[in-house]
Amino acid sequence: MKKQLEILRKPRLFLLNAIRDLSLDQLNEIPAGFNNNIIWNMGHMVAAQQGVCYVRMGLPPFTGEEFFNRYKPGTRPEGAVSATAVEQIRELLFSSLEQLERDYDQGLFKDYVSWTTRYGVDINNIDEALRFLPFHEGLHLGCIGALTKMILR
């Protein structure tokens, strides 16, 4: 478990470092040919983690329903995100992992409900879910990299 969380934490730290000099407008920009932006991808990473670990179990997301519903799979940016919302997302990138670790250690996920991802991967328990999350986040880190290149042209 600790190693899986480290595998999630380190790329998230790398991400924050990579975008630290981007303005609020740049984080919100949707370049031609894209349907989302950098900050939506970051929020989606948190929401997807909540969905895979909590919502699939019938539990409420740590982030709250409003945040989860704004960034869950199938959504797109609904408008510009404020500086306050950007800070919330930056904080949730790590506080959500800390909460996940506490909940895991307390046995919250012992009755995990099996499901199959849209990629055809069967997830049967929380450990398999934690092994799947870096794959998903890697997809979105790639999107963020492409968005950043387009924005900084």
Residue ranges and CATH numbers for the domains of the chain are 2-151 (1.20.120.450)
Mean pLDDT over residues 101-110, rounded?
95
Assess contact for 25 and 128: CB atoms under 8 A.
no
Q: What is the pLDDT of residues 75-97, one digit of tens each?
A: 999 999 999 999 999 999 999 99
Q: What is the mean pLDDT of the chain?
A: 96
pLDDT reading at 145 higher than 90: yes
For residue 116, pLDDT beyond 90: yes
Parallel, antiparallel or unpaired: strands 115-116 and 122-123: antiparallel
* C-alpha radius of gyration, the chain, whole number: 15
| pLDDT tens, position by position, 50-76 | 999 999 999 999 999 999 999 999 999
CA angle in degrees (0–180, nearest 5) for 85-89-91: 115
The pLDDT value recorded for residue 83 is 98
pLDDT at residue 2 tops 90: no
Report the 3 state secondary structure along 46-73: HHHHHHHHCHHHCCCCCCCHHHHHHHCC
DSSP letter for 116, please.
E
Confidence label for 141 from pLDDT (cuts 50, 70 and 90):
very high
pLDDT at 1 over 90: no
The pLDDT of 12-33, averaged and rounded, is 96
